[in-house]
Structure formats: structure tokens, C-alpha cells
Amino acid sequence: MNQCTHQKVIKNKLGLLELSKELGNVSRACHIFGYSRDSFYRFKKLYEEHGEAGLQEVSRKKPNLKNRVPIEIEEAVVKFALEEPGYGQFRVSNELKKKGIFVSSQGIRNIWIRNKLNTMSLRLKALEEKVAKEGGILTEKQLRALEKQKAQKEAHGEIETLFPGYLGAQDTYFVGTIKGVGKIYQQTFIDTYSKVSLCKLYDRKNALVAADLLNDKVIPFFEEQEIKLLRMLTDRGSEYRGNKEQHEYELYCAVEEIEHSCTKAYSPQSNGICERLHRTIQQEFYNVAFRSKIYKTIEELQKDLDHWLEKYNNERTHQGKHCLGETPMGCFNRDRHLAKQKMIGYNTADSDAERELSDSLLESCVAAKPEVE
């Protein structure tokens, strides 16, 4: 019952007491307000003893501890929930019967609710906390349950990322068609931990331009920050996926020692972090830019896009999981030490040789491929 309702109840009871004084007739006052004489005298006694506070509604609902299972049974249920976090309440009830512990399925659920274990995610979270605290070894079933939850998170767009450079996401975005310029495609990169974003515009969509974004913007950025990019996540488009011995993007990732993985088929939400960035760029940049300026070349649009990305990375606060109200670059600089704590080596002595090999690879691919109109 909220405060407003409490005031209304007290006001009615006070009105009953006042009306009985004015009329000098308790029965008539009770008839008007709809209370019994017994309630009137009870209200009068409470008001005389405690004032208005005595007229508040007092909840008589109290937990009946006699109906609860013994504490040792409750502890056994909680222990079993952590041993088998993937089991439901009916199966847990049946499994406990084999051990001589008889608790109904609803009783199992009530125990889970009291101990905040009523969902599988809560039970897995409690299991992780217990292992981290006590240092135990997980069973095969517990590992399967944790892996299943991890797969479900990834399928719903939740990406496991531990520090800047741990995982980058890349996607292609069709900007539109400009008269005199033609079709414009945007290659988008975002660091999934810090949300630092890098983009480049092209007039085509193929594996060569996808690799060019990494070579021209992404890898130089991480080299400048002295952090190695470990993994890349992309969709299953032809510009990212192909024969690893001939595909330009796959070859470039292999040369730079970047582990490349693709999203699950028919699950575009797995790479939803890029889709959300595309929506932000469309709303905050393209919708404004195309209404305020006429672009005649891709280079002009790229210049304005770079200016907007500079503000996005360094000035615009982000509400992401790790940013917590900081700018993407602020988050990147704050947690860059985590990469070094995880023993992520970055051999600067070999970086120049790798860059030369990557550049020569791209040049050979450009020379081998005819230019697409």
C-alpha cells in the first residue's frame, strides 16, 4: 500500500470519529461511512492510544516458518542447484527423492526464490562466484551449462570481451547512392570493449576493401597504442569469408596473426554492436550531412566522417557496458593495462616486417585484380 492510499484510509477513519462527535450518534455515523460499531470503537481506542499513526493499516501477513522445510533440507537443495544448475524444479525434486530428500517441485522453487536461484542464469552466476571464491573444479555437467549460457548470450548479441584489443567487430554498411559519385559503402570497425570506432568509405564491396580498412586504419591505430588486436568478428558475407589461401581478407588476418571468426548463420544480432553503431552514424551524421551539404566526391564525405568519428571517440560519452559514461577513448586508455596484465605480447621489433609483408600482399592483390567499375 503506497503513501497516498495510507492517507486516504486514515482520513476516512478520522472522518468517522469526527462525524460521531458532531451527530452524537455512533450508529448513524457508522452507517454513513460503512463501518461496523465494533470497528468504530477499535478505531477510537487506537486513536486515543497512538494518535493518527494508530489508524494506519497494519499488514498481518507473516511468514509461517512452521511450513518451511528444515534448514538441512534447504541447504541440500541449494547445494544441488549449484551442482546441477541446468536442471529444472521438477527434475531436481525427482533427483532428490533418490537421495531420500522429499521436497515438492513448488517447494524447490520457493527455496530457489529465497536464495535468489530461481533462474538458470542466477544459478550459474552463483556457481561462478563460488568457484572464484573457493577455487573448486567444475564438473563436466557444470561446464556444459556454462558453455550453453555463453552460446545463448552470443546468439542474443552479448559478446565476451575482456580488454581493449581482445575482439574487434567489422561490418559493411550501404550509405546510399550519390548523383555523380555512385554507390557508397562504409567499412566499419569497432573495438567491442571500449567502443572505439574507425570507418572508411569505398565505392565497392569486396574482400580487398575489407582488408584495406584493417591495413589503413585499424592496425596502425593499435600499433600506435602499443596493443595487439587479437580477434576479429564479422558476418558471413563474401567480403569476409572465403578460401583462406586466396581470399584477401583471410590472408591479411593470417599475416597479422588475427584470429578471424564469423557470426552464427541466420543470427545477425550476433554482430549487433556494428548494427547499433551504423544506426548512430546514420542518425547523428549522415542524416545531418546530406541535408546541409552537397558532396561531389567520396573524399569530401570521408573528411567529414573522420571529423565526426574524432568527436565520437574523444568527446561523445558512451553508455556501453564497459564505458559507463566515459568516452570510448577514455575507456580505452583507462583499461589498456588489462591487455598487458593478460600477458598479451606485442613484439614491436617484428611489427615493421609484418607491415611490409601486409602492404606487399595488398599491392599484389590490387595488381592482380581488374578494377571494378
Could you tell me the CA-to-CA distances from 249 to 168, 229, 238, 363 in Å, in that order?
14, 15, 10, 13
Contact between 234 and 263 (Cβ < 8 Å):
yes
Contact between 163 and 193 (Cβ < 8 Å):
yes
- Residue type at position 342: K
Contact between 335 and 322 (Cβ < 8 Å):
yes
Residue 121 exposure: Cα atoms within 13 Å on the Cβ side: 5
Residues of the chain with pLDDT under 50: 344-351, 354, 369-373
Predicted confidence at residue 370, as pLDDT, reads: 47
Predicted confidence at residue 153, as pLDDT, reads: 59
CA nearest to 194, candidates 307, 312, 305: 312
Task: List CB contacts of 23: < 8 A, sequence separation 6 or more.
Answer: 29
Predicted confidence at residue 321, as pLDDT, reads: 80
Predicted confidence at residue 325, as pLDDT, reads: 84
Order across the sheet with 259-262: list the strands: 197-202, 182-191, 168-178, 231-234, 259-262
- What is the CATH class of 168-368? alpha beta
Other CB atoms within 10 Å distance of the CB of residue 14? 14
Residue position matching grid coordinates 602492404: 359
Distance CA 171, CA 300 (A): 22
Distance CA 3, CA 316 (A): 41
Q: What is the largest CA-CA distance in the chain?
A: 108
Interior angle at CA 188, CA 187 and CA 191, nearest 5: 150
Distance CA 110, CA 58 (A): 25
Task: Check the CA dihedral 213-214-216-218 and report its sign.
Answer: positive
Distance CA 313, CA 329 (A): 6
